[in-house]
Structure 1
Amino acid sequence: MDIQRSLTQRQKAAVIVRLLLDEEDDEAVSLTRLNVDLQTLLAEEMAGMELIDRQTRDAVINEFCENLEAVGVTFPGNLDGTLEMLGGKLSQDSADRLRRIAAMSGRGDPWQRIAALGKESLISLASSESVEMVALMLSKLPVPRASDVFSSLPRDRARAVAQAMSMTGNIGAETLHRVGLILLQAAESLPRPAIDTPATERIGAILNLATADLREEVLGSLEAEDMEFADGVRRSIFVFAHIPARIARRDIPRILREVEQPVLLRALSGKTAEQQAATEYILANISQRMAEALRDDLADLGKINPRDVEEAQNQVITAIRELEAMGELTLQQPTDDEDA
Structure 2
Amino acid sequence: MSKVTSLQTEERVNSLAHTPQGHVRSAAGLTRRRKAAIIVRLLLSEGISLPLNQLPASLQTTLADEIAALRYIDAPTLEAVVSEFVAELEQAGLAFPGGIDGAIELLGEHLSPEAAAALQAQHAGDHPTDPWSVLSEQEPKKLAELLLGESPEVAAIVLAKLPSQISAAALGQMPGAEARRIAFAISRTSTVPPAAIARIGDALAHRVLDAPVRAFETPAEKRMGAILDAAPAATRDDVLQGLAETDADLADRVRRAVFTFADIPDRLAPLDVQALTRTVDQPTLITAMAGADEKTQVTVDFILSNMSQRMAAQLRDEISERGTPAAEEAEAAMSEITAALRGLEAAGEIRLKAPASK
- TM-score scaled to structure 1, two decimals? 0.72
2:171–2:179 CA contact under 8 A, matched in 1 = no
**In 2: Cα distance, 1:301 partner to 1:133 partner:** 66
Alignment correspondent of 2:34: 11
Question: Alignment partner of 2:54: what SS?
Answer: coil
Distance 1:195 1:304, change over 3 A: same
2:221 pairs with one of 200, 204, 208: 200
Which residue number in structure 2 is paired with residue 262 of structure 1? 283
State the shift of 1:235 in Å: 3.5
Give SS of 1:75's match: coil
For residue 88 of structure 1, report the CA deviation from its aligned partner: 3.3
Which amino acid letter does the alignment assign opposite residue 19 of structure 1?
L
* CA shift for structure 1 position 185: 1.7
Q: Deviations over 1:208-245 (max 9, x none)?
A: 12344554565466567655433432342233455574
Deviation string, structure 1 residues 234-293 (Cα, Å, up to 9, x no partner): 34223345557468959937972xx55422322355452234335655x57xxx998886
Deviation of 1:301 (Å): 3.2
Q: CA shift at 1:95, angstroms?
A: 1.4
Q: Does 1:188 align with 2:212?
A: no
Q: 1:194 to 1:302 in 2, by over 3 A?
A: closer
Matched residues in 2 for 1:220 and 1:183: separation?
Answer: 42
Report the alpha carbon displacement of residue 65 of structure 1 after superposing the two structures with TM: 0.8
Structure 2 CA distance, aligned partners of 1:174 and 1:301? 76
- AA paired with 1:185? H
Alpha-carbon separation, structure 1, partners of 2:241 and 2:105: 45
Q: Tell me the residue number matched to 1:49.
A: 70
Asked which structure has the greater CA Rg, the reply is: 2
Count matched residues.
324
Q: 1:127 to 1:18 in 2, by over 3 A?
A: closer
Are 1:338 and 2:356 an aligned pair? yes
Distance 1:243 1:81 in 2: 47
Post-superposition shift, 1:314?
A: 0.5
Unmatched runs of 5 consecutive residues or more in structure 1: none
Distance 1:95 1:44, change over 3 A: same
Aligned to 2:259: 238
Q: What aligned pairs does 1:206-221 form with structure 2 within 5 A after superposition?
A: 206-212=227-233, 214-216=235-237, 218-219=239-240
Which structure exhibits the higher relative contact order, with contacts defined as CA atoms closer than 8 Å and separated by 6 or more residues? 1
2:336 paired residue number:
315
- Tell me how large the CA RMSD over aligned residues is: 4.3
Q: Which amino acid aligns with 2:302?
A: A
Aligned-partner Cα distance in 2 for 1:304–1:267: 8
Q: Which moved more, 1:134-143 or 1:59-68?
A: 134-143
Deviations 1:188-212 (A, max 9, x none): 3334455554321232122212344
SS of the residue 1:238 aligns to: coil
CA distance in 1, matches of 2:274, 2:36: 52
Which amino acid is the alignment partner of residue 62 of structure 2? Answer: L
Q: Is the 8 A contact 2:225 2:257 kept in 1?
A: yes
**Aligned equivalents of 2:277 and 2:66: distance in 1?**
57
Q: Distance in 2 between matches of 1:198 and 1:110?
A: 28
Alignment of 1:130-141 (within 5 A): 132-137=153-158, 140=162, 141=166
Matched-pair identity in %: 34
In structure 2, relative to structure 1, the CA distance for the partners of 1:307 and 1:94 (3 Å cut) is closer
| Structure 1 residues 83 and 16: alpha-carbon distance in aligned structure 2, compared to 1, 3 A threshold | same
Q: How does 1:53-92 map onto structure 2 within 5 Å?
A: 53-92=74-113
**Of 265, 268, 272, which residue of structure 1 is paired with 2:297?**
272
Query: 2:143·2:170 contact (CA, 8 Å) conserved in 1?
Result: no
Q: How far off is 1:123 after superposition?
A: 7.1
State which drifts further: 12-21 or 267-276: 267-276
C-alpha contact (below 8 Å) 1:207/1:237 kept by paired residues? yes
In 1: Cα distance, 2:167 partner to 2:289 partner: 42
Aligned to 1:144: 169
